[in-house]
Amino acid sequence: MEKRKELVVSAIENGTVIDHIPADKVFQVIKILGLETIDKPVYFGTNLESKKYGTKGIIKITDKFFEAEEINKIALVAPTATLIEIKDFEVISKKSVEIPECIEHIVKCANPNCITNKEHDVPTKFVVLKGKDGHVKLHCHYCEKNTTEDKLEFI
């Protein structure tokens, strides 16, 4: 079983595999990372069997390596995701995605009367609050309101 997994991961020559995405978040991850418009081959699967999570999604992007800021975006909707970097069919790094303590620029504040939604030159900034139930809330640095997961809108 492990071996088969390795084969799937290694199936691209160079690029990134994002594994262990919650099955219902694959399309959101694709959107967040802008993979709909990328000009390289992208493969994805969802509702795949996962020993750890029951089901999972996976995305493989050829010739693409992610900056930390882009990875942060994934962490918000797919905190369980694993990032695997591939070079010459070999796994060169494997890391878990961690939700950062602070999120800047990438998510809109859900409060329509927040300064970040009223003035075009004010970038959003949030402190991430992690609940006991595993859900995250983003506490706006400016208006001090919380944006919950179900209201997440990416810029």
Partner 1 sequence: MSISLKNRSLISISDYSPEEICHVLDIAEDFEKNPHQNLLNGRIIGSLFFEPSTRTRLSFETAIQLLGGNVIGFSSTAGTSIQKGESLADTITMVASYADLIVMRNPIEGSARFASEVSKVPIINAGDGANQHPTQCMLDLYSIRKTQGTLENLEITLVGDLKYGRTVHSLVEAMCNFNAKFNLVSPNELKLPSTVKQHIKDANLKYDQYTELEDAIPHSDIIYMTRIQRERFPDPEEYEKVKNSYVLRNAMLANSKPNCRVLHPLPRVNEIHVDVDANPKAYYFQQAQNGVYARQALIASILGLK
Q: Which residues contact 104 (CB under 8 A, 6 or more apart)?
A: 123, 124, 125, 126
Shortest Å distance, C-beta 2 to partner 1:
44
Q: Which residues contact 117 (CB under 8 A, 6 or more apart)?
A: 108, 109, 111
User: Which stretch, 48-56, 57-65, 75-83, 134-142, contacts partner 1 (CB under 8 A)?
Assistant: 134-142
Residues 76-115 within binding reach of partner 1 (CB under 8 A): 111, 113-115
116 binds partner 1 (CB under 8 A): yes
| CA 153 to the chain's CA centroid | 13
The site for partner 1, by CB under 8 A, has a size of 17
Q: Tokens at residue 114, please?
A: 């927040």
Give the binding site for partner 1 (CB under 8 A): 111, 113-116, 118-122, 140-146
